[in-house]
Structure 1
Amino acid sequence: MDEATLARFADLVVGFGANVQPEQIVAIGAEIGKEHLARALAASAYRAGAKFVDVQYFDLHVKRARVEFSREELLPFVPSWYGERILELGRQRCARIGLTGPSAPGLLDDLDPARVGKDPLPFLKESGQVVNERTTNWTAVPCPTPQWAQLVHPELDPVAAYAKLCEQIVHVCRLDEEDPIAAWTARADALVSTAARMTDIGYDALHFTGPGTDLTVGLLPTSTWMAARFETVDGITHMPNLPSEEIFTAPDPLRVDGVVRSTKPLVVGGSIIRGLEVEFRDGRAVRIDADEHADVLRGYAARDEGAARLGEVALVDGDGRIGALDTVFFDTLLDENAASHIAIGSAYQFTAGEADHPRLNQSQIHIDFMIGGPDVDVHATPRGGGDRVPVLVGGAWKI
């Protein structure tokens, strides 16, 4: 990505995605190898009037050393100041920007998956708290790296692979539009409108059917569909994911039944889980199998009482730019916005009415995996019973 494009990308992320305000503190979370975008974002934030930019880098090689050599009972430990930093960002009404994309693909593949699953970092449970409290304006964006490019495009030489990945990120982030902000505003308007229709209809349950998938996900009486555009408690509008192509809500964590097969690989804690299949019974994941690294997800799902239950269900239509590329990015931000998905772990409080807040799933984790695609259809059961009705068929909305 050339310097001009990098600066344009940073300005889109800072000015539209996170919507950084003058004199805000801006926290940027990145990994080693993503310095180029982190620095461009810092420069853009200062141009926008930021009071201070705090960049924090996570080193997956250090995580590897911990998983390899630490005593197993110590692996779940996270120093208190990690979480306190996140909470303080909320208390001081800061902006947050996170950079996604694998920085060292396969680095943990030769380690014991069960041990890998016990170390939660870089995920912090406090992140969910500040999101629920809506105290920070934030966004997550993909950061291209040569290592990631080789994983996505192994058929190309390293230079061509990196150029291809950069080109795709420019496209899915709508940077190839003359006015990316106008393009994103139009797309966000469409998503928010669809989410509002889903909320107004008020289905009782969703039914996913496709190759290897027959899954029923119950919804709460006040399940509220959200999309694209969030607002902080202080009225700052921001776009939590850039790109974002989904609408999502909180399911009933006690009413999930059936079998679901992931339609894309899942990257968790540095390990790539392929061929994932999960069976749910009475809301709980009772079987987690995969062609590779199933033990990693099993470890996360055993973290606490809510880790094996759903905290999110999301629908993605065929009008987005990511799915049309027919590319597996091995990055949850991109892959989850290419296909409908579910997440085990914590729910977002604002995706249900106050009356149902006690019923929302709670957990230290939140892990999305993709279950949708053109051959996975979604039907719904109306509240009060009746025949199932189509909602999303062949990637097209039917509501």
Structure 2
Amino acid sequence: MTERDAVTPDPDLLARLAALAVRVGANLQPGQVLAVNGQVGGHEPLVRAIAAEAYRAGAKYVDVNWFDPLIKRARLELSAEDDLDFVPPWLGARVEALGAARAANISLVGQVRPGAYADIDPARIGRDQLPALRQTAEVINRRELNWTVVPAPNAGWAQHVRPGLDAGEALRLLEQDIRTVCRLDEDDPVEAWRARAVELQASAARLNAHGFDAIRLQGPGTDLTVGLLPSSRFIAAGMDTIGGIAHQANVPTEEVFTTPDPARVDGVVRATKPLTLGGTTVDGIEVEFAGGEVVRVDATTGADVLRGWIERDAGARRLGELALVDGDGRVGRTGTVFHETLLDENAASHLALGSAYLMCLADEADHERANRSAIHVDFMVGSPDVSAIGVAADGSETPVLVQGAWQG
């Protein structure tokens, strides 16, 4: 057993995270099945705490789906090239069955084996995109699941965030950050999230009142115009299932987001934070769009992995999400790069290549125009130096987010 394996998360923090995930994030209802997705080698303590909390809340059954990054490494090393993009149909069938059962779902993030694929051919990594599944986006867009994603503190992830520290010290600091960004340091975290939700929803309402035709991002290395569909609406801090169950899809969340027009994205955008994609760090990203499609991808590290992902299908080269994040969010204020999209995307405005969220479209007539893909890859493009400007149909411009502050 290594030192890292011997270091375990704080049980009190796990209990509070589990309660937040079950009661606020997924908002599990009595009699529902709860699906939990976690990684072996670090997520087990939180998965067990979530299962216990779910049964206290009246879960009918807790179904745990485990992913082992070291088994994936074996496949990447040894599998035949043509087998790497094989996705067993029963994996997608499970997701479809959970949607049909109107289940709840909690997914955990926080790499347990950072760098596990560091010496693997990037082209092979790009072909095996598991555990990501196309059916997940489809079930979410049909609003069949009340779902959430939460961070799972573990020593492997902690040492990736703070590589100069021993496992115990790194984990304690990561736990401190998670308490802060998840508002678990508040006497009443549920009420704290309700208050923040009101702020985020007010920001979304102000954006929607303008009825912008596009959003322009401008900053160092970035000048990108993202067109919006006629009924695109910004939403924040909460969704509802088709059955009316409210849930918070990300814990933490600090974003307001919408669905862009995948045919109207033009210009260049430079990422402001590294992206962890399938266990590989992609840093120094620069992407150029023309007519909505990616025409160039560069990066200082991991470029071939990102290029592999966007070759998945036609929609993978177009945008499915535009999200704006202000400077009042707790994630950005930590100053920590977490190397996990759940947290890093809530520190900075971001874009997502791939599948769009249909719940951001007020008119079903626009659903057919929204982007479709088997992937949804967020990358962070915001900073205090990057401004967001609303563009009206007549071309007039209105600043909406400048130096991290909402305008107007």
Where does structure 1 lack aligned partners over 5 or more consecutive residues? Answer: none
Quote how far apart the aligned CAs of 1:58 are: 0.3
Quote how far apart the aligned CAs of 1:212 are: 1.1
Instruction: Report the TM-score, using the length of structure 2 for normalisation.
Output: 0.96
Q: Does residue 142 of structure 1 match 2:142? A: no
Q: Does residue 106 of structure 1 match 2:115? A: yes
Which residue of the partner structure matches residue 278 of structure 2?
A: 269
Q: Does residue 208 of structure 1 match 2:217? A: yes
Map Cα deviations across residues 156-187 of structure 1 (whole Å, 9 max, x no partner): 22211110001100110000000000000010
Q: Does residue 244 of structure 1 match 2:287? A: no
Give the alignment partner of residue 120 of structure 1, picking from 92, 111, 129.
129
Q: Does residue 368 of structure 1 match 2:378? A: yes
Quote how far apart the aligned CAs of 1:273 are: 0.3
**Secondary structure of 2:48's aligned partner:** helix
Give the alignment partner of residue 294 of structure 1, picking from 292, 303, 317.
303
Which residue of the partner structure matches residue 36 of structure 2?
A: 28
Give the distance between the partners of 2:133 and 2:350, measured in 1 at CA: 21
- Find runs of 4+ consecutive structure 1 residues off by over 4 angstroms: none
Quote how far apart the aligned CAs of 1:72 are: 1.5
Q: Does residue 9 of structure 1 match 2:17? A: yes
Percent identity at matched positions? 56
The AA in structure 1 aligned to 2:287 is: V
Give the distance between the partners of 1:291 and 1:129, measured in 2 at CA: 33
Map Cα deviations across residues 255-306 of structure 1 (whole Å, 9 max, x no partner): 1111111100000111000111111111111111111110101011111111
**Secondary structure of 1:306's aligned partner:** helix
Quote how far apart the aligned CAs of 1:350 are: 1.4
The AA in structure 1 aligned to 2:35 is: A
Quote how far apart the aligned CAs of 1:376 are: 0.7
The AA in structure 2 aligned to 1:86 is: V
Give the distance between the partners of 1:49 and 1:110, measured in 2 at CA: 45
Give the alignment partner of residue 340 of structure 1, picking from 338, 349, 363.
349
Aligned length: 398
Give the distance between the partners of 1:233 and 1:303, measured in 2 at CA: 29
Quote how far apart the aligned CAs of 1:194 are: 1.4
RMSD: 0.9
Quote how far apart the aligned CAs of 1:4 are: 2.3
The AA in structure 2 aligned to 1:337 is: N
Quote how far apart the aligned CAs of 1:131 are: 0.7
Which residue of the partner structure matches residue 185 of structure 1?
A: 194
Q: Does residue 79 of structure 1 match 2:88? A: yes
Give the distance between the partners of 1:187 and 1:368, measured in 2 at CA: 22
Give the distance between the partners of 2:119 and 2:277, measured in 1 at CA: 14
Give the distance between the partners of 1:381 and 1:303, measured in 2 at CA: 32
Give the alignment partner of residue 381 of structure 1, picking from 377, 391, 394.
391
Give the distance between the partners of 1:101 and 1:261, measured in 2 at CA: 25
